Amino acid sequence: MDGIGTRDYQQEQLMHQPGSGTREEITIGVVGGDEIVHRIMGVARNSGNPSWRLVAAVYGDEHEAPAQAAKIASRVDVILFAGPLPYDVAMRHGDLPVPATYAPVGGAALYGTLLRGALEEIFDPLRISVDSVSPDDLHAAYRELELDPRQVHVKQYVEPESAEEFFEFHRGLYERGETTGAVTTVPSVAAALADTGVPSLKMTPAGATLRHVLQTAALMGSGAKLEESRIVTAIVRVPSGAFPHASPSNYWYQELKLSLYRELLREARPMDAAVLPRDEHSYLIVTTMGSLNIATDELTVAPFLGRLTSEVGVNLEVGLGLGRTTREAEPQRAVGCRQGGYGQRGRGLPGGSRRNHPPTAGGAPGRSRPAGPAAGEGREGHRDAGAPR
């Protein structure tokens, strides 16, 4: 089902959203259950944005999210998860090579679900159990609706383990007669409640929320593509103090330079980099940020420097520069120039922390900072990551 779903959704989206040829195309991977993926695809198609290209990966259970995300990660610029649960489950399996975000819970979706439950007489909104949203958000919604929330039970989503308790939370309250039904955001919980006869509704993001999160995902993907395309220039130089009495005309010195050039070509090939002679003592390497990230594990290791030093037998000096053009990147190289031999993690590379780690300001440790949601919507989390594929 996953493969068929991915193929059908992708073809449908490309048919309705052809690239215009004048705007940058952003490929958004959508990971979620069948129903929410259909909705996201529909919202994207109706938006009429010609620069969005969507690729879907449908799972049957939230714990399949990591595998589904991995299937499409190499073909997309950003991944949009159906909610915080599949997002967190995927992140626990390791950082993705592309930015990721998720559709938030609560907000307008809560109001719509309460209204539907009342109109369809599925449950009494004054005596229900609700998961995922915070108590503050739930009480604020009830105050706005001028309803009394004192007999409403809420269990907030904090991490994947908390979601595993949602089913027993709802069922226990209903069987004890404390509630008339349940509201959940987790499809597997909704299915289990239906099997046990507990009246329930699944709360899914409103259309405005999905439009907003798609726009956020597109901006994240665009930023990652710009970062990947930045030019990186490097100078690899034989230190002038290494051989104080040597002359560039010496035969053995020319052999050293030739050996260094061969090793640089060998190391540069996997990075799609160009190696050019710069002067009598150094070489210039030109590549892109995306290629460098692959070779250095997000700027945390530089194994090639250790290999170069070992092969040549000299502690080399290396300087890096970044920019949108080679000229812009060039002045920065001297700043980073230092002796080589960096086999250790994170040493000697600018920006040596993994960009896949989300900012935690304003949020719980290890969770991403929410992006600004549309008016009336719930919070939205995302990973500010842009990495090569």
Q: What is the pLDDT of residues 273-297, one digit of tens each?
A: 888 777 777 888 888 777 777 777 7
Name the class of domain 2-103+206-227+355-383: alpha beta
Across 365-387, average pLDDT: 37
Note the pLDDT of residue 311: 77
The single residue listed with the structure tokens 């000697």 is 348
Whole-number Cα distances in Å, 318 to 197, 249, 296 = 67, 23, 14
Cα 145 to Cα 117: distance, rounded to the nearest angstrom: 14
The single residue listed with the structure tokens 């909705």 is 39
pLDDT per residue over 23-47, tens digit each?
578 999 999 999 999 999 999 999 8
Cα 164 to Cα 58: distance, rounded to the nearest angstrom: 21
Residue 152 and residue 159 in contact, taking contact as beta carbons nearer than 8 Å: no
pTM for this entry: 0.62
Beta strands in the chain (DSSP E): 26-32, 52-58, 78-81, 100-102, 129-132, 153-156, 182-184, 200-202, 231-237, 274-277, 282-288, 317-323, 338-339, 370-371, 380-383
Q: At residue 341, what is the residue type? A: G
Cα 192 to Cα 149: distance, rounded to the nearest angstrom: 25
Between 349 and 177, whose confidence is greater?
177
| pLDDT, the chain, mean | 76
**Cα dihedral sign, 48-49-51-53:** negative
Cα 342 to Cα 348: distance, rounded to the nearest angstrom: 7
Count helices and strands in the chain by DSSP H and E runs: 14, 15
Cα 368 to Cα 362: distance, rounded to the nearest angstrom: 9
Residue 199 and residue 182 in contact, taking contact as beta carbons nearer than 8 Å: yes
Cα 332 to Cα 345: distance, rounded to the nearest angstrom: 22
Please give the CATH topology (third level) of the domain spanning 230-339: Alpha-Beta Plaits (3.30.70)
Cα 34 to Cα 251: distance, rounded to the nearest angstrom: 69
Nearest Cα residue to 91 out of 389, 366, 378, 373: 366
Note the pLDDT of residue 78: 94
Residue 358 and residue 85 in contact, taking contact as beta carbons nearer than 8 Å: no
Nearest Cα residue to 23 out of 154, 178, 218, 305: 218
Instruction: Indicate whether 245 pLDDT > 70.
Output: no
Superfamily of domain 108-202: PrpR receptor domain-like (3.40.50.10660)
Note the pLDDT of residue 182: 98
Intrachain domains 2-103+206-227+355-383 and 108-202 with the same fold: yes
Could you give the dihedral angle defined by the CA atoms of residues 362, 366, 369 and 371, in that order, rounded to the nearest 10 degrees?
-150
Q: Residue 221's pLDDT band (boundaries 50, 70, 90)?
A: confident
What is the residue extent of each domain of the chain? 2-103+206-227+355-383, 108-202, 230-339
Burial 275-292 (b: 16+ CB within 10 A, else e): beeeeebbbbbbbbbbbb
Note the pLDDT of residue 6: 45
Rg (CA), the chain: 27
Task: Give the SS3 label for residue 54.
Answer: strand
Where is average pLDDT lowest: 2-11, 183-192, 309-318? 2-11
pLDDT per residue over 185-219, tens digit each?
999 999 999 999 999 999 999 998 999 899 989 98
Across 97-113, average pLDDT: 90
Instruction: Indicate whether 298 pLDDT > 60.
Output: yes
- Tokens matching residue 181: 């039904």
